[in-house]
Amino acid sequence: MREPVKTRTLSCILGRRRSVDADHIKMRHLFTIMLIFVSLGWANTPAQAQDFATIAEAKTMLEKASSFVREHGSERAAQVFMDENGPFRDRDLYISMSRSDTGARLAHANKRLIGRSIFSTIDADGKPYGEMIRTIALKNGRGRLDYRIVNPMTGTPMQKTSLIECVNDVVLVVGAYR
């Protein structure tokens, strides 16, 4: 049989006299400390505005991605772009790479979109921004597009500026929320 643990009174905490064992007191302190750390973590989530990438950072990433595709080809680039811990992921920035003829996505942060055509996608207002990306890429070779889309980090529709470039047989897109 287990020996009883020494107890003490917590009248200052509970506002009444109650006998509680030492293990219970330790657990309450541990719970309080954990609660503080968890709340500090929530106050510092990536959904805060300062954690969104800028258009300048998106431009830099697009330039690096374009160089990578030219040097290594689209097949190798798709593998690298899909790496969640790779050099082409930064906060809410990632490379979306699609075939220039069909629009089939070869790389995207959302793996469920791989193989689906970017050209048929619409924005939060129902506008066919995928078709606008196609027009910019195939007519001009590069450009930018502003539209509203649901930010997966916040779950709310936000303005987004996407930078677009056609390289070899693929269309590269990277965007920054504003």
**Once rounded to an integer, what is the mean pLDDT over residues 83-99?**
94
**Domain shared by 79 and 139, yes or no:** yes
- Would you say residue 151 lies in a domain? yes
CA 68, distance to chain mean position in Å, is 22
**CA 5 to mean position of chain CA atoms:** 50
**Burial class, 63, CB count within 10 angstroms (exposed 0-12 / middle 13-18 / buried 19+):** middle
d(CA 171, CA 133): 9
Residue 2 lies in a domain: no
Whether residues 28 and 62 share a domain: the answer is no
Residues 171 and 93 in one domain: yes
Percent of the chain with pLDDT over 70: 72
* Token reading at 70: 């030219």
Task: Give residue-wise pLDDT tens across range 26-72.
Answer: 666 655 555 455 455 544 444 444 588 999 999 999 999 999 999 99
Do 65 and 144 fall within a single domain? yes
pLDDT for the residue numbered 45: 46
pLDDT of residue 43: 42
Q: Does the global pTM surpass 0.75?
A: no
* Structural tokens at position 72: 């290594």
Domain range for 60: 51-177
Q: What is the pLDDT of the chain when averaged over all its residues?
A: 83
Do 127 and 150 share a domain, yes or no? yes
**Is residue 147 domain-shared with residue 123, that is, in the same domain?**
yes
Examine the domain organization and report whether 28 and 58 are in the same domain: no
Long-range contacts, stretch 146-152, CB < 8 angstroms, 24+ apart: 147/123, 148/123, 148/124, 149/123, 149/124, 150/124, 151/92, 151/177, 152/110
My answer on whether 61 and 110 are in the same domain is yes
User: Dihedral (C-alpha) 19, 21, 27, 33: value to the nearest 10 degrees?
Assistant: 60
Residue 153 and residue 124 in one domain: yes
| Residue 1 domain-assigned (yes or no) | no
Per-residue model confidence (pLDDT) at position 44: 44
pLDDT at 35: 46
How many domains does the chain contain in total? Answer: 2
- Inside any domain, residue 113: yes
pLDDT of amino acid 51 = 81
Q: Is residue 82 part of a domain?
A: yes
Which amino acid would we find at residue 96? S
